[in-house]
């Protein structure tokens, strides 16, 4: 990991010294030992602030939207795919961005660690080869990274080469699914009543802060449907039906575009399993259209393009 | 405890198109309940929240005079994105809506007694200034105030507000009315030039004179420069501000500039006060 | 000061639940705690640092009907008064202090907010001193501290084997008289109490320097540092929603069929995109810089100027829950260390 960090800093330094970019968006340490924080490096002598490790969760490509200056961004596999979608949707100019890809970097799910520790506060961490040592007031424990990986966040060996301007670390040899597809299978196996109970439990937690939307790189609409008051699509209350309307419409709006980066899930202050709808939709789209967003920038997005052999079974 | 969020019902008694561009109309309301009308005691420069059930609420400066007890009037500019204003425009006379208020501080009409008043209004920002003119010109009040001068500026003739009022005021000898448009136009017999230029030509006397000014930011800034040259001090330049508002009573948190809430501490401020508000102004 | 043996706490809670609407901390998973109305002591869990969402929602809910309107113009305000008084047991001192600030907003000299004030007047607050503050806490910067009593009616502290109960207001005194099982504190309890109070305060390491801050920020409204500190903020508003003092709201009409509807107020945030957007298209605070500045200035300069108190109580929720780990204490520090204007 230290090596990757060194490489990143060197690359960032070169980009800034050569004036190839105005800014490198990466991660630096925060006061929260379990999470880094985004940073905007604009001078070569600041590159040592950059860190790169399993605590680099945020999808930084959100910051590319609307940025005029030439920018380099540190991107994990699924973040790279976000850029591809944003370029496809004309939100980001590809030539304005230098993608510093970290295709093999995996991240831990802070929420899993907190749950494991039963809410005991972590005061510091030591990053090791395959583990992180978490230290609290009166405890210390080695946690294997593999046991706490964030669900979703797939490593891919099939992202188009053109999406990487700089590669830090190895390309993964194969597709690695760090996933709770089990949950999708479980959901699919549930009766509709059980499924309803599941979603009821999740979406009743929503306080309608819209952090999921603001964290999502694909939520860039100037005026979001949920903010429209006249006519309103549904109430702004936290009643279950209104919460559900919001999340279902948002999931459908991200359908065929979502790269399962987990930004919504990480941002949610109330730990709603926001990924599950997106994941299921992504699975269906893959089955129906044999398409996964952001893997190939030349390929059109499945739900905004038409092919003569698209399945038409739904027309009855 | 009085509930400051519940509006009083009012009836739209008259709609009146104010300019030839037809995007400015005066809406006249009568309170359904006589008591509400009596309670609605306001001073020039105050505003009220006007609402249509099911559409929403928005703040508008009161354009009628406090002495016009039978009704209140608002002049409203129509914006394509203004949800409430569009709904207002589509209302017919006799339909119901809600009014909350009056809110804000208003112009210092007491303090202005014995003083000359210079009014500078640009575009449709003239509305609460009309209230002042009507109030001062009222026979019960006219003797209390000194010289009354009014500069009404608009970009084009079709945007000039209150044509009938202006025509009537122009006939009087106790008010000087100057109307100006930005560029020459056919059939225009008033002044031509930006408000600040026309104001400079008017060379108003700063002695014992207060200026009430409303309009677009750029107009205000240029006019204030001219007034400074003419020795008007910031404490005698009075300005009314606008911001998006929801509650009107200093709680919902969006209409502040610096530490002042426009709805509660304003909308009327002296230029001296505004200078202290800092970067946001 | 009164003393209650620890094993008797449930009978006190049961008594309160019987006499009043009792609101107390509960947790589904042992990780996140929320205040909820309970029927008895069985679900109450006092083994918590602080609630995840702030208790402001008990007085100023995320969504509240102001009145219903009908096609004939009739307006109907929902009943605000309730039959029973409400007791909140286990609020933290920072959150209780925040209510004192909200009181100033919703009960100013000119306009009283009946929705907030009815709930407020109907509630008795038992605060629970903090013995294990978190690393994100910085209440001591505001002279609050884990054993501060401002805003409490009754102050409760947990000593491991017993609780202390102390009436702070007349309202508290009155209710304390009704509780059985309490006995007078002895000298040893008082000294233990003072020791615990000191030790708890010493656990709070995070600090924000407030001396002269309100005035300094006025001079730094144009500081170049604003360009830096807003960059990573994604303007999601989690900070505002979880904050115990943030009180900005929106008012909207919600139609329920053609014949009726309700004007409601919902929480809003200075971070949200439409907060100051005007119908004309003009937005006086269009970007991240202006929005971030508004939030910081409101809490640390405008509110102090207007209310002689800060718009922050150091609860740390905004630090702990920010998706990009923006840290208000660091933001203030950076601003204080920065130049007022660009060096020429």
Q: How far A290 CA sits from the closest chain C CA (Å)? A: 33
**Mean per-residue pLDDT, B62-67:** 95
- Chains with 3+ CB–CB pairs under 8 A to A are B, C
A60 & A186 share domain: yes
* A311 domain-assigned: no
A46 & A195 share domain: yes
A143 & A212 share domain: no
What confidence score (pLDDT) does residue B243 get? 86
**CB-closest option in A123, A227, A236 to C63:** A236
Rounded to 5°, angle at Cα B151 from B146 and B156? 165
Tokens representing residue C96 in the block: 């209780």
Give Dmax (Cα) for chain A: 64
When pLDDT is cut at 50, 70 and 90, the band that residue B279 belongs to is low
What are A119-178's pLDDT values in tens digits?
Answer: 889 999 999 989 999 999 889 999 999 999 988 778 888 899 999 999 999 888 888 776
A79 & A122 share domain: no
Q: What range does the domain containing A137 cover? A: 114-148
When pLDDT is cut at 50, 70 and 90, the band that residue A237 belongs to is confident
What confidence score (pLDDT) does residue A183 get? 80
- Chains with 3+ CB–CB pairs under 8 A to B are A, C
Q: How far B76 CA sits from the closest chain A CA (Å)? A: 19
A61 & A125 share domain: no
Between chains, do C114 and B259 touch, taking CB under 8 Å as contact?
no
Distance CA A200, CA A203 (A): 5
Q: What is the pTM of this model?
A: 0.92
Domains of chain B: 8-103 (2.40.30.10), 116-240 (3.40.50.80)
**Mean per-residue pLDDT, B56-60:** 93
ipTM of the complex: 0.90
Q: Is the pLDDT of residue B189 over 90?
A: no
Give contacts of C325 with chain A, Cβ < 8 Å. 30-32, 35-37
Between chains, do C321 and A118 touch, taking CB under 8 Å as contact?
no
Tell me if chain A has a CB within 8 Å of the CB of B83. Answer: yes
Transcribe chain B into DSSP letters.
---TTSPEEEEEEEEEE-STTS-EEEEEEEESSHHHHHH----TT-EEEEEETTTEEEEEEB-S-TT-TT-EEEEEE--TT-HHHHHHHT--TT-EEEEEEEES----TTTTTTSEEEEEEEGGGGHHHHHHHHHHHSTTTGGGS--EEEEEEESSGGG---HHHHHHHHH-SS-EEEEEESS--TT--SEES-HHHHHHHH----TTEEEEEES-HHHHHHHHHHHHHTT--GGGEEEE-----SSSSS-S--SEETTEETTTT-SEEEHHHHHHTGGG-
How many domains are there within chain A?
Answer: 2
A247 & A118 share domain: no
What confidence score (pLDDT) does residue A211 get? 93
Give contacts of A229 with chain B, Cβ < 8 Å. 56, 83
Please give the average pLDDT of every successive group of 10 residues along chain C, which has 344 residues: 93 95 93 94 92 96 95 93 92 97 94 96 96 93 93 94 94 94 89 92 93 92 90 92 96 89 93 83 86 94 94 95 94 90 60
What confidence score (pLDDT) does residue A253 get? 93
What confidence score (pLDDT) does residue A249 get? 93
Between C280 and A295, where is the model more confident?
A295
A294 & A183 share domain: yes
Helices (H) and strands (E) in chain C, counts: 12, 12
Percent of chain C with pLDDT over 70: 99
| Closest alpha carbon to C146 in C128, C124, C167, C168 | C128
A246 & A258 share domain: yes
A253 & A180 share domain: yes
| Closest alpha carbon to A82 in A303, A295, A304 | A295
A248 & A176 share domain: yes
What confidence score (pLDDT) does residue B281 get? 59
Give contacts of B101 with chain C, Cβ < 8 Å. none
The answer to whether C123 and C58 are in contact (CB under 8 A) is yes
What confidence score (pLDDT) does residue A70 get? 96
**CB-closest option in A37, A121, A236 to C252:** A236
A242 & A157 share domain: yes
Q: How far C28 CA sits from the closest chain B CA (Å)? A: 33
When pLDDT is cut at 50, 70 and 90, the band that residue A198 belongs to is very high
Sole residue written with tokens 């119901």:
B96
Q: Mark which of A148, A167, A200 sits at the end of a domain.
A: A148
**Mean per-residue pLDDT, B248-263:** 91
Q: How far C111 CA sits from the closest chain B CA (Å)? A: 7
Tell me if chain B has a CB within 8 Å of the CB of A314. Answer: no
A140 & A247 share domain: no
**CB-closest option in C31, C250, C323 to A115:** C31
Mutation for A interface: B79, B82, B83, most A CBs within 10 A: B83
**Mean per-residue pLDDT, B4-10:** 95
Q: How far B108 CA sits from the closest chain A CA (Å)? A: 37
Between chains, do A118 and C31 touch, taking CB under 8 Å as contact?
yes
Give contacts of A231 with chain B, Cβ < 8 Å. none
What are B228-246's pLDDT values in tens digits?
Answer: 999 999 999 999 988 889 9
Tell me if chain C has a CB within 8 Å of the CB of B2. Answer: yes
Distance CA B84, CA B66 (A): 25
Distance CA B256, CA B266 (A): 10
Between chains, do A209 and C237 touch, taking CB under 8 Å as contact?
yes
Give contacts of A213 with chain C, Cβ < 8 Å. 236
Q: What is the mean pLDDT of chain B?
A: 91
* A224 domain-assigned: yes
């Amino acid at each position: 990991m230290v090596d990757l960090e060194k490489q990143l800093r060197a690359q960032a330094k070169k980009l800034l010294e050569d004036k190839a970019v105005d800014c490198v968006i990466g991660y630096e340490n925060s006061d929260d030992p379990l999470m880094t924080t985004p940073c905007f490096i604009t001078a070569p002598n600041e590159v040592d602030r950059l860190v790169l490790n399993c605590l680099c969760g945020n999808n930084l490509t959100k910051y590319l939207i609307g940025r005029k200056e030439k920018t380099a961004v540190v991107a994990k596999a699924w973040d790279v795919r976000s850029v591809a979608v944003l370029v496809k949707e004309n939100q980001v100019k590809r030539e304005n961005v230098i993608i510093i890809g970290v295709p093999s970097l995996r991240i831990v799910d802070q929420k899993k660690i907190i749950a494991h520790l039963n809410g005991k506060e972590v005061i510091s961490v030591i990053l090791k080869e395959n583990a992180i040592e978490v230290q609290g007031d009166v405890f210390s424990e080695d946690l294997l990274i593999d046991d706490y990986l964030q669900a979703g966040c797939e490593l891919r060996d099939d992202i188009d080469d053109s999406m990487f301007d700089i590669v830090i670390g190895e390309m993964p040899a194969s597709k690695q699914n760090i996933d709770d597809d089990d949950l999708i299978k479980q959901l699919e196996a549930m009766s509709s009543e059980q499924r309803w109970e599941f979603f009821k439990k999740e979406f009743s937690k929503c306080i309608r802060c819209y952090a999921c939307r603001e964290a999502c790189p694909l939520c860039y609409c100037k005026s979001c449907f949920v903010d429209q008051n006249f006519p309103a699509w549904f109430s702004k209350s936290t009643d279950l039906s209104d919460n559900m309307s919001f999340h279902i419409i948002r999931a459908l709006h991200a359908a065929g575009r979502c790269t399962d980066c987990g930004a919504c899930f990480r941002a949610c202050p109330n730990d709603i399993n926001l990924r599950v709808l997106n994941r299921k939709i992504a699975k269906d789209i893959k089955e129906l259209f044999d398409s996964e967003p952001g893997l190939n920038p030349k390929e059109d997005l499945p739900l905004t393009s038409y092919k003569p052999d698209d399945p038409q079974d739904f027309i009855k | 405890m009085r509930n400051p969020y519940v509006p009083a019902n009012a009836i739209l008694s008259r709609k009146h198109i104010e300019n030839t561009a037809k995007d400015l109309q005066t809406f006249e309301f009568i309170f359904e309940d006589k008591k509400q009308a009596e309670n609605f005691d306001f001073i020039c420069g105050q505003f009220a929240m006007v609402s249509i059930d099911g559409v929403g609420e928005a703040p508008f400066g009161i354009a009628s005079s406090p002495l016009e007890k039978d009704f209140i009037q608002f002049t409203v500019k129509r914006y394509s994105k203004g949800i409430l204003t569009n709904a207002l425009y589509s209302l017919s006379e006799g339909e119901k809506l809600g009014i909350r208020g009056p809110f804000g501080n208003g112009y210092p009409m007491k303090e202005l007694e014995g003083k000359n008043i210079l009014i500078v209004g640009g575009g449709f920002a003239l509305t609460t200034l009309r209230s002042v003119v009507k109030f001062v010109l009222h026979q019960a009040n006219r003797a209390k105030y000194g010289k009354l001068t009014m500069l009404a500026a608009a970009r084009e003739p079709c945007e000039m507000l209150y044509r009938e009022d202006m025509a009537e005021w122009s006939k009087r000898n106790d008010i000087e009315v100057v109307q100006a448009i930005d560029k020459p136009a056919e059939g225009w017999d008033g002044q031509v030039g930006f408000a600040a230029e026309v104001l400079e030509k008017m060379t108003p006397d700063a002695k014992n004179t207060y200026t009430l000014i409303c309009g677009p930011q750029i107009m205000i800034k240029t006019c204030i420069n001219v007034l400074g040259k003419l020795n008007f001090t910031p404490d005698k330049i009075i300005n009314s501000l606008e911001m998006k508002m929801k509650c009107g009573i200093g709680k919902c948190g969006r209409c502040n500039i610096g530490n002042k809430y426009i709805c509660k501490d304003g909308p009327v401020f002296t230029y001296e006060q505004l200078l202290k508000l800092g970067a946001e102004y | 000061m009164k003393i209650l043996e620890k094993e008797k706490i449930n009978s006190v809670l049961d008594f309160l639940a019987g006499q009043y609407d009792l609101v107390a901390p509960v947790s589904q998973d042992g990780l996140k705690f929320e205040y909820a109305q309970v029927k008895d002591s069985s679900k109450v869990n006092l083994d918590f640092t602080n609630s995840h969402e702030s208790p402001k929602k008990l007085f100023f809910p995320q969504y509240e009907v102001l009145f219903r309107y009908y096609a004939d113009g009739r307006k109907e305000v929902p009943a605000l008064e309730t039959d029973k008084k409400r007791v909140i047991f286990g609020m933290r001192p920072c959150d209780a202090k925040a209510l004192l600030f909200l009181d100033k907003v919703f009960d100013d000299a000119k306009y009283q907010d009946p929705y907030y004030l009815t709930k407020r007047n109907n509630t008795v607050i038992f605060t629970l001193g903090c013995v294990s503050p978190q690393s994100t806490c910085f209440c001591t910067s505001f002279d609050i501290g884990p054993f501060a009593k401002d805003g409490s009616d009754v102050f409760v502290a947990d000593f491991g084997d017993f609780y202390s109960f102390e009436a702070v207001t007349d309202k508290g005194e009155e209710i304390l008289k009704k509780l059985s099982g309490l006995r007078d504190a002895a000298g040893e309890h008082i000294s233990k109490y003072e020791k615990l109070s000191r030790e708890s305060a010493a656990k709070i390491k995070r600090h924000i320097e407030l001396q002269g801050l309100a005035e300094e920020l006025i001079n730094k409204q144009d500081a170049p540092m604003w360009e830096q500190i807003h960059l990573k903020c994604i303007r999601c508003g989690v900070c505002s929603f979880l904050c115990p003092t943030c009180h900005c709201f929106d008012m909207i009409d919600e139609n329920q069929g053609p014949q009726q509807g309700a004007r409601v107020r919902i929480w809003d945030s200075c971070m949200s995109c439409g907060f100051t957007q005007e119908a004309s298209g003009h937005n006086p605070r269009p970007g991240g810089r202006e929005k971030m500045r508004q939030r910081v200035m409101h809490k640390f300069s405008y509110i102090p100027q207007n209310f002689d108190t800060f718009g922050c109580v150091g609860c740390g929720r905004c630090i702990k829950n920010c998706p990009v780990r923006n840290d208000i204490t660091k933001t203030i520090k950076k601003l204080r260390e920065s130049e007022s204007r660009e060096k020429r």
